[in-house]
Structure 1
């Protein structure tokens, strides 16, 4: 039976936890999930592509998107803005597709206020030392910025109780399998399907 609406799956967690890597692997494993590309004012990292990893915007362009109501959510994180373009997400959900948002914690909590029926997953590092090693391994940030990111990470982990699920990113393949299991279970929840099957009884 075709669902009337798809799921909105929100994946977030501290910077450096591997959200992009996990989402990329998830897309390879499950081609049915649509991936929403965020907009950001930060510069592209090596290997990232416009429209694939992010839509890269100037701060003036991003402010215009805010003013025009084009963003489902947005947040400022370590001197840069991140946001989710609204149109694509709403279109896919209403067509019955599951959509995953890979966003920062501030943005996820904004989405929860306007879309509480979403599925909120917190991606957790095995420990904070491993998180620091992953950030340092990028080789793109100063020690001061890394320290700032670690302080923010501790604050974000304290917000874990705002989420429905916690997935540890110890190994990417394991994390992907856990997320796939969550999506399968959520698609089978009674409260998402009961009205459809009650219509069958009426017929």
Structure 2
């Protein structure tokens, strides 16, 4: 990483909120995120980079930016990533330019990442709002992986073995949602987004002039 990192703080304008959503593979993270983004048009999804090849049905720049391992390493060395981590043997990361300019412009940004990347993001943006998705059971997690029909039995077994470690990091997040009934989980995630925007510090920043006009005895 380069030592010269641009600031993510613009004191002259209200910043957007950075949302983090993480989960073990197969917990339904992407489906929940897509459903919430369709309902909440005020959040912009940052499309991650990955060194793994596309799965059936995945499209470049829509699901991921697919690059070679060599190109990913070059981007790490150039300091291009906001966060990056090795996940199930492949690299995944968020480009710096996908996050910092959007926040500075006042846009809310959502990162769909793993717990390792989430830890890096929280260190840089302590007021980021983080959500962890849990499956209703380990059996349900295994069934969801198999139903996707995208991975071999060997890959599924490896992902299930890693899931316990991934889920052990749930307590590092602000909110935990159990994805048992999909529509309920979508409602809960959207409620987190809405409530986060209404926090005192955010409203004081975004509604500064209104609050001054309503509470300042000298205001007209």
Confirm or deny a common fold (TM above 0.5): yes
Q: Distance in 2 between matches of 1:65 and 1:16?
A: 28
Shift of residue 142, structure 1, vs aligned partner = 2.5
Task: Summarize the alignment of residues 69-84 of structure 1 with structure 2, pairs less than 5 Å apart.
Answer: 69-84=79-94
**2:108 is the counterpart of 1:98:** yes
Cα-Cα RMSD: 1.7
Shift of residue 18, structure 1, vs aligned partner = 1.2
1:47 to 57, 61, 69: 57
- 8 Å CA contact 1:25, 1:173 repeated in 2: no
- Equivalent residue for 1:10? 20
2:98 to 77, 80, 88: 88
1:197 to 194, 208, 212: 208
2:128 to 114, 118, 125: 118
2:139 to 129, 132, 142: 129
CA offsets per residue over residues 16-41 of structure 1, 9 Å max, x none? 11111111111211111101100001
**2:184 is the counterpart of 1:151:** no
Shift of residue 152, structure 1, vs aligned partner = 1.3
| More displaced 10-residue stretch of structure 1: 106-115 or 159-168 | 106-115
Shift of residue 187, structure 1, vs aligned partner = 0.8
Ranges in structure 1 where 5+ consecutive residues have no aligned partner: none
Task: Give the match's secondary structure for 1:140.
Answer: coil
Greater than 3 Å deviation, 4+ residue runs:
195-199
TM-score of the superposed pair, with normalisation by structure 2:
0.86
CA offsets per residue over residues 42-75 of structure 1, 9 Å max, x none? 1111111111100001001100111111111111
- Equivalent residue for 1:171? 181
Q: Distance in 2 between matches of 1:176 and 1:22?
A: 6
- Equivalent residue for 2:72? 62
Q: Distance in 2 between matches of 1:87 and 1:79?
A: 25
- Equivalent residue for 2:10? none
Ranges in structure 2 where 5+ consecutive residues have no aligned partner: 1-12
1:32 to 35, 42, 58: 42
